[in-house]
Structure 1
């Protein structure tokens, strides 16, 4: 039997340890900056906006949803993020003011840009049931509605005339990392607890266009369906339908969102529920609060207070459309051209 060469083993151990130390010391932590860029006039996503680090040759561009993501080494001395695009005033965001998933608004510049004359086309664009950015970011309810229905939500729309072309659909969405549970404390005041369990920002869902039943006025026949996939925490989702050339034969229609009950869309929400701890000598139950988890599904639709609510419906477990009874308007709009 050959002898063990302890010197060789010790040498290899020292060599491997040295490599590990070198690898550890050269590994650099990284920071991720991401968010969305919108046009100030129409509050629509801006494509191909350059997002760069001031004084550094590091940059990225916004995608078709106006979303950007920039990963940098923490060793770099970063003071400012710069947002620039042709025809817009350059915006600078100090790192000290950066918050997760910000929405950056760019204003158009006063430069004289070439104009395109489209008056010969005689097309009108109109946004139906529109909402604003300030309305969707104010939605702080920790149980989004109709998000808890988990099946389908449909909202009524009425165009000025028949045979309009559906151009796009816009959806306001809630970022779960901003939501917190609350509970009454001993002084009967709302006490913030822990945030909702972190969720995967990615989601898939379906958009449907439905006809209106002439008698019941409920959502009726399926006219069009599009599958939507989102890869980030967008608060403002734009579904571009210009290439579909979908014609609304009737001026009245429903836009519906259908949740896909799949693990990919799951989010776990922490809640509180009473539990019987004991009974006193008189038989009265003594309760205590315990935590419990509930499973919900993305996407969470934002809502906002409104005095004129569009007729809306949710689909229950039996597959029936029932009135959506809430004092808030769900952030769901449709843009048509005619």
Structure 2
């Protein structure tokens, strides 16, 4: 993990270090209403964090640090902002996206049984993103699973996510891997790149889960119609203290029982999504810290899919 800057997402317990200056950020819309959990990417440092539920965050950077912020929030246009050379308060106003949600004609389908895509037996999930992958620091912003249906116009009624749930104790160090808060994002397929394309639901679907390995999210109240035959269900990782997990980074993979005060400890963020070695093609895609989608490969000799299933009604 690059440490060109020291980032502090929580304003509690921070202190000023020599040669550093404090910068506070407030992300709002054009009417100055605060935007919770906006994503801020420091492009040169290749580091990212989310604001808090009031749209605020505080971080420190070196006096000589020159960087540019990419600010993203669901339902708003991305905005690139240069870090000011002076001052310590920065208010960022985002513009709401002008294009309407993508729609598809809903077909009459009385008494049609729902269909589960990528159905998963919870006892068959043994691998998780970020766990034991050699040389990988899983600092991805989103995890997206690709699905294909026969025709556009089906209703998306629920999404089920399988994730890592553990509680470890080693020499007085507690690693609580149960709690997690994340968001569901939905994308069409970009036919040119085969990556997630346009978002077709601007509703903020936020999930707070503290105990479950298998999390089923009921989407029926959102009345979501899938506008294309191929689409993606993505998990947006919120890089906030609530989800933060301190780990030991080494050449053999990530260890969750890192002793306190270890120099090569790093931080990654919940939820840790399950992985499946099945399917004819890799359906797993990740959004990198550079704001680029790339296909994710975990199994060297098999295709990789995320343990994410979707229920649709034709």
Query: TM bucket by the smaller chain?
Result: 0.5 to 0.7
Q: Residue 309 and residue 215 in structure 1: after superposition, are their counterparts in 2 closer, same or farther (change >3 A)?
A: closer
TM-score of the aligned structures, taking structure 1 as reference length = 0.50
| Gap runs ≥5 in structure 1 | 1-119, 181-192, 275-289
SS of match in other structure, 1:300: coil
Deviation at 1:173, TM superposition (A): 0.7
Partner of 2:312: 336
SS of match in other structure, 2:124: helix
Partner of 2:150: 160
2:267 is the counterpart of 1:295: yes
2:281 is the counterpart of 1:304: no
Out of 238, 257, 261, the position equivalent to 2:239 is 261
Cα RMSD between the aligned structures? Answer: 3.0
Partner of 2:206: 228
Quote the Cα distance in structure 2 between the aligned partners of 1:254 and 1:209: 6
Deviation at 1:294, TM superposition (A): 1.3
| Gap runs ≥5 in structure 2 | 1-108, 253-261
Partner of 1:219: 196
Partner of 1:202: 179
Q: Residue 320 and residue 148 in structure 1: after superposition, are their counterparts in 2 closer, same or farther (change >3 A)?
A: same
Q: Aligned runs of 1:133-144 on 2, under 5 Å?
A: 133-136=122-125, 138-139=126-127, 143=131
CA contact (8 A) 1:199 1:268 kept: no
Deviation at 1:172, TM superposition (A): 0.4
Quote the Cα distance in structure 2 between the aligned partners of 1:300 and 1:291: 23
Partner of 1:33: none
Deviation at 1:156, TM superposition (A): 0.9
2:154 is the counterpart of 1:177: no
Output one character per residue of 1:51-99: Cα deviation in whole Å (capped at 9) or x when no partner: xxxxxxxxxxxxxxxxxxxxxxxxxxxxxxxxxxxxxxxxxxxxxxxxx
When the two structures are aligned, how many residues end up with a matched partner? Answer: 190
CA contact (8 A) 1:196 1:269 kept: no
Partner of 2:255: none
CA contact (8 A) 1:170 1:332 kept: yes
Deviation at 1:150, TM superposition (A): 2.9
Partner of 1:52: none
Q: Aligned runs of 1:34-183 on 2, under 5 Å?
A: 121-136=110-125, 138-139=126-127, 143=131, 148-177=138-167
Q: Which runs of 4+ in 1 moved over 4 A?
A: 144-147, 193-197, 271-274
Q: Residue 244 and residue 270 in structure 1: after superposition, are their counterparts in 2 closer, same or farther (change >3 A)?
A: same
Deviates more, 1:144-153 or 1:255-264: 144-153
Which has the larger Rg? 1
Deviation at 1:273, TM superposition (A): 7.0
TM-score of the aligned structures, taking structure 2 as reference length = 0.54
SS of match in other structure, 1:148: coil
CA contact (8 A) 1:273 1:291 kept: no
More helix by share: 1
Q: Residue 308 and residue 132 in structure 1: after superposition, are their counterparts in 2 closer, same or farther (change >3 A)?
A: farther
